[in-house]
Amino acid sequence: MTITRRSALRGMLAGTLASTVALAACKHRARGLVLGDQVHLIESKLRAAHALDGTTYPLSFANFQGAAPLLEALNAGAVDTAPAGDLPVILAAAAGCKLKIAGINQTSGRSMAIVVPPRSPIASVKDLAGRSVIVSSARGSISHYLLLEALREAHVPIGSVKIGFMLPTEAAAAFASGQIEAWGTFGIYQAKAEAAGARILRDGTGIGPGYGIIAVSEAALADADKRAALADVLARSRTANQWCRDHIDAYAALYARQTGIAPALARIMVGRENPALVAPDAAFVAALQRAADRFHEDYGVLPRRVDIAALIAPGLLPA
């Protein structure tokens, strides 16, 4: 299962076109600081909390449907920040993406899971032997790590499971139409599947590491004006996240509008989320290093070992 640096980069693309990203990079460079986003949620939180009021620098947002294309955009210079799960960020770094980790938040293990259709004969992770499992969204994703660790835990040989990869929206449609036997997914895609009757074989509780990361490009950090703007945006993001914690019902309503899920599901989702934004600390470095080493040494997913401590961007977000 070992992959090369080049194939890792191809896997991260997850169907995006490099030429499209390059064109976007040219467009966005003229617009000042560009914040990457998923489901427009970062922008919505900032605006709902009025945390962008009084900004004095050009600022725009670029939305993506998953971590893989978002991190490819970061590598191409199309965006200056990328909110993503911990392991996709590490895969990007191993594949040569010039990034640093500026802020983190600890998420619930319940926010990712391996699910099966409601009437599936698959009753446990052990039953995945000889079956096909689709993972969202790419090799090296948090869902991929969850699946590999769950198989290890259940003593199921990885080679006995046919593992495929699809972008979340495509996988969701295939799962809903009965084309997928089992699905490793996360977030709103998981919540929607659960609401439609999907059964959870194993969620991420106890598997970890389970961090959300704000990655920033090294190119943006090397630009004095952009670095100052990034530090300001991170401080404003911390304010917005505190607003989410203080106004949980309002945040749930906002979440429902942005993701298109029912308000009751949105309430469940925000209950699984811990929006507190903090600076990376020693506990984070140790937890992520363990997972990165497992991905590299045991599973051959990372093309090289990644030194997590070397990826930390100091000074952008106060402890």
- Edge-to-edge strands, sheet with 33-38: 59-64, 33-38, 81-85, 211-217, 99-106
* pLDDT for the residue numbered 31: 59
In angstroms, rounded to a whole number, what is the distance separating the alpha carbons of residues 200 and 182? 10
Gap between the Cα atoms of 101 and 37, Å rounded: 16
For residue 46, what are the β-bridge partners? none
Burial group, residue 281, by CB count within 10 angstroms (0-12, 13-18, 19+): exposed
Domains of the chain, each with CATH number or no CATH: 5-107+210-311 (3.40.190.10), 109-203 (3.40.190.10)
Q: How far apart are CA 304 and CA 99, in angstroms?
A: 16
Secondary-structure breakdown of the chain: helix, strand, coil percentages, each rounded to the nearest 5: 50, 20, 30
- Sequence letter at residue 244: C
pLDDT value of position 21: 45
* Whole-structure pTM value: 0.82
Per DSSP, which regions of the chain are E strands? 33-38, 59-64, 81-85, 99-106, 112-116, 132-135, 162-165, 182-186, 199-203, 211-217
> Residue 101, exposed/middle/buried by CB under 10 A (0-12, 13-18, 19+)?
buried
Residues 36, 42, 48, 49, Cα dihedral to 10°: -100
Q: Calculate Rg over the CA atoms of the chain.
A: 19
CA atoms of 165 and 135, how far apart (whole Å):
5
CA distance 67 to 141: 8
Return the pLDDT at 28: 45
Q: Which of 84, 310, 95, 315 is nearest to 215 (CA)?
A: 84
Instruction: Name the CA dihedral angle for 74, 309, 86, 160, rounded to a multiple of 10 degrees.
Output: 110
Per-residue pLDDT of the chain in tens (319 residues, 90 and over written 9): 333 444 444 444 443 334 344 434 444 444 589 999 987 889 989 999 999 999 999 999 999 977 889 999 999 999 999 999 899 999 999 999 999 999 999 888 888 999 999 999 999 999 999 999 999 878 888 899 999 999 999 999 999 999 999 988 899 999 999 999 999 998 888 988 998 999 999 999 999 888 999 999 999 999 999 999 999 999 999 999 999 999 999 999 988 888 778 898 888 888 887 678 999 999 999 999 999 999 999 999 999 999 999 999 988 988 7
Task: Report angle CA 255, 256, 261 to the nearest 5 degrees.
Answer: 130
Cβ-based neighbours of 180, under 8 Å, separated by 6 or more: 117, 132, 134, 171, 174
